[in-house]
Amino acid sequence: MSDKFSRRDFLKLAGVGAATTAIVTGCGPASRYVQREPYMKMPEYNYNGLSTYYATTCRECAAGCGLVARTMQGRALKIEGNASHPLNLGKTCARGQATLQGLYNPDRVTDPIKRARGSASAEKMTWDAATQVVADALKKYKPDQIAFLVGTAPDHLFDLIADLATATGMNAPVRFGALSMFDARATLSKAAENLLGKSGLPFFDVGGAQMVFSFGANFLETWLSPVSYTRGFSVLRDGQTKRRGNFVQFEARMSATGGKADEWIPLRPGTEALVALAIGRLASELRGGSLPRAFAGVDPADAAAKSGIKLETLKRLANIFAKSTGALAIPGGAALGQSNGLAVAEAVLALNAIAGNFGKPGGVFFSALAPTQTEYQRPASAKEMQDFVNQLTAGKFKALFVHGVNPVFELPASLNFKAALQGVEQVISFATFPDETALESDYVFPDHHGLESWGYQRVATGASQPVLSGSQPTVVPYYNTQATVDVLLAATKLAGGKFAQALPFKDEVEFLRSKVAPLMSEADGFFSALDINTFMAYFQQHGGWWKTSDGRGVPNVADILNRDLKGAEATFAGEGEFFFTPFVSPTLAEAGANKPWLQELPDAATTVMWNTWVEINPITAEELGVNDDDVVRIVSEVGTLEVTVYRYPAIRPDTIAMPFGQGHTAYGRYAANRGVNPADLLGANFNEAGDLAFAGMKVKIEKTGKVQPLSRLESIMGVYGVGMGKE
């Protein structure tokens, strides 16, 4: 260790820890946490040099991967995947690895604070005063004047607020996350409702397939459950136990997922539905029999002309799809984030009917619902968020509580979330980090970091069995933070009346137990117990509870092809000459930018670190007269951004792309004032399912004459010149 702590410092530190514990647990047992000890002092139950491991759940995204945290002397040292967790089987993504840099981030919110909105300076409060503020807000306003906006994780907090809302007549909590916006989950769910019999998240068994056609689905990056889908990809490619499966990606800009495809088909944005239907028609003709109604309305030659794919290529692909055993078509990502996104999702889902793979290995299922869940809980779509913002602007809500989401950064700037906050009397944030939304709040009552927290997360997709992933504190809270559930429980007690009756729990752990207890009577659990204490001990030890039986649903596809499917092209907002494709940075995503090692991970496709770039085809760049590192101005119908050019060889010349993840104005020293946020360019355009048409814009490029070099890994590579292909 490089540190030099004085004994006095240690005593101070230990004192803070003890005080925090006392507050957090209320009258609960202090043994909820393992104390962080001075480097020189060993806890009695620990041996020098031996680690203690705690199973918990990753909160970097909402997928719900199981983690095991290696700790020593009360410090978390390393995050590993939980090898027995059915979703991730011991693996994590880069964001999961870097979660420690969130826990020990130098820019966390350390105490409850009060501030003038937008002001950098803030006044510290005590937790007693903070709890009183929450209680007063609950009492002062009518229940329907109180709104909760929460992120897609954790689920236990969402359940608590939902229960409180039901009992008191408050508005049901609104859930949102930028990842689900860019996943276009509402579109997927709506397409499933229209074609597969009910709404829900489809599960695509990539691992069992032999020939995957992906229309824009970035399933190796951030889409739905990336670690699980990456494992599926690994099984697809495995040539040892079966034949190596193949993979074709249709997208205008080669994503990191598309880079792994055997064939990358750069089609004109907006023609995905047309291409899918054309492949459907050609494949149906090859298979013989009568032409299904769904594909009858499309003319392959027309589709070829509009999409920019040669007709013989379409025919060849259709032949591959028709003749392959184990063909699978996946709709996702930017293909759905367009004005015709729903039509794309339906057309691509319908392709699976030709393969006849519904409910079969290598095919399309409904994701297993989490234990005790009866239907898929979809986060709010961008359209629903616009409605919410309109209500905020109209002054419908007097108090807004925000947890686990950063709407000022994540929502398109054109939705004007920041301005809408002016319509709210009191904004209370529970942010762990000083993000943009916390900066615009009156109070920040910081929640613990995920690794310091209790909770659970329902696994929405990715595992074949129903999984409830459990969280427990792996370390004692580092700062004077308090679990939001505990704050709400204490505040409802103070508020009294129906609030106190709604949540009759002593603390977070008791609430958690009440939610976990029904699992004891569920069948097929991989463990069970007769009493709750034993059950909870197993729940914590294993990092959750899951069934041993397959919970995936078989879609009802009786007449899936006996309907008209629309092949209309997407319409694009704006006047520019370039299609604009924002994509989520796989390593930063919406909340990774404050972790320095995530900043220093090179992007898989461009190897750029620490900044934002715009990808332009070298041919286009030459026509525009711009080169690498030149700064250009991107003009959309709602905004402009200045960003550095990266000449990207695998993008259509009529398309440009930008990663989402940078461009924070707050959020700590590593994130703030670095790069730009493409959400600032996005207009409030939606598809039929209410998802944002984020890939449905056309933009202009203007030269600025400025140069801003990008930090990129590739410049030091290729000393032998092999494969560098520097044009």
Nearest to 292 by CA among 352, 354, 342, 356: 354
CB of 141 to other proteins, least distance (A): 38
Beta partners for residue 71, in sequence order: 52, 76
Q: Tell me which residue has tokens 């889902």.
A: 349
**Unique residue bearing structure tokens 């820019």:** 107
Tokens of 686: 């939606």
Report the alpha-carbon angle 464-465-468, nearest 5: 125
User: How near is the Cβ of 460 to other proteins at its closest, in Å?
Assistant: 18
Q: Which is nearer to other proteins, 105 or 636 (CB)?
A: 105
Distance CA 143, CA 166 (A): 10
Which of 288, 289, 705, 723 binds other proteins (CB under 8 A)? It is 723
| 179 touches other proteins (CB under 8 A) | no
Give the shortest CB-233-to-other proteins separation in angstroms.
6
Sites for other proteins among residues 554-593 (CB under 8 A) = 586-587
Among 404, 342, 337, 401, smallest CA distance to 660 is for: 337
Instruction: List the Cα angle 207/210/215 in 5-degree steps.
Output: 85
CB of 554 to other proteins, least distance (A): 27
Query: Strands 399-403 and 146-150: what pairing?
Result: parallel
Q: Under rule CB under 8 A, which residues in 120-159 are in contact with other proteins?
A: none
Instruction: Give the binding range for other proteins (CB under 8 A) out of 152-160, 332-340, 378-386, 609-617.
Output: 609-617
For the segment 44-73, give every residue that binds other proteins (CB under 8 A): 49, 72
If one counts every other C-beta atom within 10 angstroms of the C-beta of residue 45, the result is 7
Instruction: Report 227-256 residues binding other proteins (CB under 8 A).
Output: 227, 230-231, 233-234, 237-240, 244, 254, 256
Q: What's the min distance (Å) between Cβ of 360 and other proteins?
A: 24
**601 counts as binding other proteins under rule CB under 8 A:** yes
Q: Binder to other proteins among 24, 76, 380, 389 (CB under 8 A)?
A: 76
**624 residue type, one letter:** L
Of 130-138, 258-266, 349-357, 442-450, the segment contacting other proteins by CB under 8 A is 258-266
Which one of 220-228, 385-393, 465-473, 564-572 is the stretch in contact with other proteins (CB under 8 A)?
220-228
* Per CB under 8 A, 6 contacts other proteins: no
Nearest to other proteins of 222, 437 (CB atom) = 222
Residues between 454 and 483 with contacts to other proteins, criterion CB under 8 A:
478
Within positions 620 to 659, which residues make up the interface with other proteins, using CB under 8 A? 649-653
Closest CB 221 distance from other proteins, rounded Å: 7
**Closer CB to other proteins, residue 28 or residue 308?**
308
- E strand spans, 266-405: 327-331, 364-366, 399-403
- Would you count residue 712 as binding other proteins (CB under 8 A)? yes
Residues in Cβ contact with 89 at an 8 Å cutoff, skipping those fewer than 6 apart:
81, 83, 231
Task: Say how many Å lie between the first and final Cα of the chain, rounded.
Answer: 47
- Among 97, 210, 340, 465, which residue interacts with other proteins (rule: CB under 8 A)? 97
DSSP assignment of 537-582 equals HHHHHHTEEEBSS--PBPP--TTTTSS----PPPP-BSS-SEEEEE
- Indicate whether 611 belongs to the interface with other proteins (CB under 8 A): yes
User: How many chain residues interact with other proteins (CB under 8 A)?
Assistant: 91
Using CB under 8 A, pick the residue from 221, 410, 628, 630 that binds other proteins.
221
Could you give the CA distance from residue 206 to residue 185 in angstroms, rounded to a whole number?
18
Q: Is 317 left (phi over 0), alpha (psi -120 to 50) or beta?
A: alpha
- Should residue 11 be labelled a site residue for other proteins when binding is judged by CB under 8 A? no
* Type of residue at 524: D
CB of 234 to other proteins, least distance (A): 4
43 touching other proteins, by CB under 8 A: no
The piece of 287-295, 487-495, 545-553, 607-615 that touches other proteins (CB under 8 A) is 607-615
Tell me if 14 contacts other proteins by CB under 8 A: no
Long-range contacts of 489-495 (CB under 8 A, 24+ apart): 490/26, 490/131, 490/135, 491/131, 491/132, 491/134, 491/135, 491/138, 492/135, 492/138, 492/164, 493/135, 494/131, 494/132, 494/135, 495/135, 495/138, 495/139
Measured from the CB of residue 711, what is the shortest distance to other proteins in angstroms?
3
Q: What would the two tokens of residue 177 be? A: 């996350």
Binding mask 669-698 for other proteins (x = CB under 8 A): x----x------------------------
- What are the Cα distances from residue 707, in Å, to 393, 421, 523, 628, 644? 40, 37, 63, 9, 8
Q: Do residues 72 and 398 make contact, with C-beta atoms less than 8 angstroms apart?
A: no
Please report how close the Cβ of residue 204 comes to other proteins at its closest, in angstroms: 16
Please identify, using beta-carbon distances, which residue of 541 and 715 lies nearer to other proteins. Answer: 715
- Per CB under 8 A, the list member of 7, 78, 703, 706 interacting with other proteins is 78
